[in-house]
Amino acid sequence: MIRPAWRSSGILVAGMLAACMAPVMAFRVPGAGLTSLAASRLRVSSAAGGRLQRPAVRRLPAVLHMSASAPAADNAAAEGASTDGKPEVRKRILSGVQPTGNLHLGNYLGAIRQWVANQDKYENFFCVVDLHAITAPHVPAELTKSSFDIAALYLAAGIDPNKSKVFIQSHVTAHAELCWLLNCVTPMGWMEKMIQYKEKAKKQGESVSIGLFDYPILMAADILLYQAQLVPVGEDQRQHLELSRDIARRFNDQYCKKKSMPAKGRRVFREPEALIVKEGARVMSLLDGTSKMSKSDPADGSRINLLDPPEVIRKKVSRCKTDSFEGMEWNNPERPECTNLLNIYKAVTDKSEEEILAEVGHMRWGEFKPLLAEALVAHLEPIQSKYAELMEDKSQLKRVLLEGAEAAEAVAGQTNELAKRAMGFTTRQDLA
Ligand code: TYM
């Protein structure tokens, strides 16, 4: 069962208390020491009848230090065995997709595919960002279904729950709580520069919500809670990542530097970096090679959805925008559609540019389009059948999401506590 965050984070701090006899030790003792580190990972398991027990996760330090010599094995890293006997530290990544409509080829090639490809390299947290999904008008009856759909598609695309934690954002309440704390740290002026907000707000007109304006801060909270070093996203998210870095720096500067602060000399947040693929970072609309493929485009024909049946894919490709040039070529500024479709073909066939040019360079649109459509159908078919399997019996999916939320909550709850302490809040444990 998922515990509410206040309970779980309370339990974490209770664990700290049990071992340190004083929760503030986490901030006061440089490096925090093994005792509090180990204690901070003690959690009460309902399965263990309320006994304190050590989870299978690795030790976390109570705080992250600002200096370059900060301990490597902090709550932003996973240790594993390495060949030279030293623990190998894997970087942590976090990313997410909104459960708004169908996942499309842009989401897949820009984000999910690289998550899958890099699973062994990093310690992975992937969430379905349902709180973000309500920043635009949404249909309540569809939100749960869309959230399950996206999670199932993560798994169907190759996310392995043994290597990656998959969870639903709203199941870990620290996201919303940290968002509020960060709201009070972030200047309005920074937010007014957010390009995606301006673009989306224009479309929503009068009904635009504060939530949409706040979207990038919630995204910063998602990332900062997990001390993620890298955030694999498409090109369109670069500005949001820069904002997350700025917020982390501002928070650390404001609350961790001054002598009077509980977190003096230490940082609470790590500054994340965007991890953007070279190819697939910006998949364009099928109807206009100069605008991004997007879920919010009212024309369904502008995108290939991962769950589009083969006949729909064929129809969409046959209708996609072309030009009057002969032959297929990359990077002709007068032919953005041609470059886009060749990029898609390359991504789904894994062929090199040279191979593709030799294969299709001489072709007319009428010959190339069916080839592209069949390549897409073949690439998506295994994802679609795995998705159907997962949705037929949701028990596996639910188990993965429950376990993912538990693991996510343990990490996020701890960071949230650190942030609150650094800001000077009292906690329930202080009352005991
Ligand atoms: P969303 O759902 O709009 O997009 C999910 C991911 O898909 C990428 N993407 C694209 N990549 C290439 N070409 C396209 N046409 C295209 N369209 C979308 C996006 O860059 C993104 O990586 N704000 C995020 C959701 C989010 C998030 C986070 C991501 C919330 N919190 C924390 C990372 C970390 C978004 O754009 O969702």
16: left (phi over 0), alpha (psi -120 to 50) or beta: alpha
With cut-offs at 50, 70 and 90, classify the pLDDT of residue 84: low
**H-run or E-run covering 371:** helix 365-392
- 268 and 352: one domain? no
Range ranked top by mean pLDDT from 4-18, 51-65, 168-182:
168-182
Strands 43-44 and 52-53: antiparallel
Residue 84 has which token pair? 């030279």
Could you tell me if 219 and 80 are in contact, meaning their C-beta atoms sit under 8 angstroms apart?
no
Cα 336 off chain centre by? 29
Q: Exposure pattern of 237-254 as b/e (b: 16+ CB <10 Å)?
A: bebbbbbbbebbebbbee
The number of the ligand 1 atom at minimal distance from the alpha carbon of 235 is: 20
Helix axes 353-360, 336-349, angle to 10 degrees: 110
Residue 4 lies in a domain: no
For 362-370, what is the mean pLDDT?
Answer: 97
Residue 21 lies in a domain: no
- 187 and 270: one domain? yes
What single-letter DSSP state applies at residue 301? G
Residue 386 lies in a domain: yes
Residue 63 lies in a domain: no
**What pLDDT was estimated at residue 277?**
87
Ranking 61-75, 150-164, 240-254, 277-291 by mean pLDDT, the lowest is: 61-75
The angle at the Cα of 115, spanning 179 to 108, to the nearest 5 degrees, equals: 95
Residue 51 lies in a domain: no
Q: Ligand 1 centre and the CA of 232: distance in Å?
A: 9
Distance CA 333, CA 345 (A): 19
Each residue's pLDDT tens digit, 124-150: 999 999 999 999 999 999 999 999 999
Residue 377 lies in a domain: yes
- 239 and 362: one domain? no
- 257 and 316: one domain? no
- 113 and 262: one domain? yes
Range ranked top by mean pLDDT from 19-33, 36-50, 278-292:
278-292
- 205 and 322: one domain? no
The rounded percent of the chain whose pLDDT value lies above 90 is 72
- 160 and 271: one domain? yes
Specify the residue with its C-alpha closest to ligand 1, atom 26.
Answer: 96
Specify the residue with its C-alpha closest to ligand 1, atom 27.
Answer: 96
Pocket of ligand 1 (CB under 6 A): 94-98, 106-107, 110-111, 129, 132, 219, 222-223, 231, 233-234, 236-237, 240, 281-283, 292-293
- 238 and 271: one domain? yes
Q: What is the CATH classification number for the domain harbouring 365?
A: 1.10.240.10
Which domain range does residue 251 map to? 77-279+396-431
Could you tell me if 218 and 180 are in contact, meaning their C-beta atoms sit under 8 angstroms apart?
no
What single-letter DSSP state applies at residue 348? H
**What pLDDT was estimated at residue 65?**
36
Number of domains in the chain: 2
Query: Cα torsion at 23, 24, 25, 30 (round to 10°)?
Result: 140
With cut-offs at 50, 70 and 90, classify the pLDDT of residue 413: very high
Q: Ligand 1 centre and the CA of 337: distance in Å?
A: 22
**H-run or E-run covering 212:** helix 210-225
Better pLDDT: 425 or 36: 425
Strands 273-275 and 230-232: parallel
Distance CA 269, CA 228 (A): 9
Q: Ligand 1 centre and the CA of 95: distance in Å?
A: 8
Residue 383 has which token pair? 């994802």
**What pLDDT was estimated at residue 75?**
54
Strands 88-97 and 77-80: antiparallel
- 376 and 409: one domain? no
Distance CA 201, CA 204 (A): 5
Could you tell me if 363 and 328 are in contact, meaning their C-beta atoms sit under 8 angstroms apart?
yes
Q: What is the CATH classification number for the domain harbouring 242?
A: 3.40.50.620
Residue 30 lies in a domain: no
Could you tell me if 376 and 368 are in contact, meaning their C-beta atoms sit under 8 angstroms apart?
no
- 150 and 128: one domain? yes
Check whether 19 has a pLDDT greater than 80.
Answer: no
Residue 170 has which token pair? 């709203």
Active site residue 163: no
Better pLDDT: 1 or 120: 120
Distance CA 180, CA 217 (A): 9
**What pLDDT was estimated at residue 261?**
72
3-state secondary structure of 282: coil
Specify the residue with its C-alpha closest to ligand 1, atom 35.
Answer: 97
**Residue from 292, 315, 351, 386 carrying the catalytic annotation:** 292
With cut-offs at 50, 70 and 90, classify the pLDDT of residue 203: confident
- 272 and 353: one domain? no
**What pLDDT was estimated at residue 102?**
84
Residue 287 lies in a domain: no
The number of the ligand 1 atom at minimal distance from the alpha carbon of 132 is: 30
Residue 13 has which token pair? 């701090």
Q: Ligand 1 centre and the CA of 210: distance in Å?
A: 20
* 58 residue type, one letter: R
Q: Ligand 1 centre and the CA of 127: distance in Å?
A: 11
The rounded percent of the chain whose pLDDT value lies above 70 is 80
Specify the residue with its C-alpha closest to ligand 1, atom 6.
Answer: 107
The number of the ligand 1 atom at minimal distance from the alpha carbon of 216 is: 23
Active site residue 292: yes
Check whether 8 has a pLDDT greater than 60.
Answer: no
**What pLDDT was estimated at residue 22?**
31
**What pLDDT was estimated at residue 82?**
56
3-state secondary structure of 268: coil
Check whether 35 has a pLDDT greater than 80.
Answer: no
Distance CA 140, CA 245 (A): 33
Each residue's pLDDT tens digit, 90-113: 999 999 999 998 899 999 999 999
Active site residue 165: no
Contacts 24+ apart (CB under 8 A), 185-192: 185/247, 185/250, 185/251, 185/254, 186/217, 186/220, 186/243, 186/247, 186/250, 190/243, 190/246, 191/216, 191/217
**What pLDDT was estimated at residue 258?**
72
- 310 and 406: one domain? no
**What pLDDT was estimated at residue 296?**
86
Q: What is the mean pLDDT of the chain?
A: 84
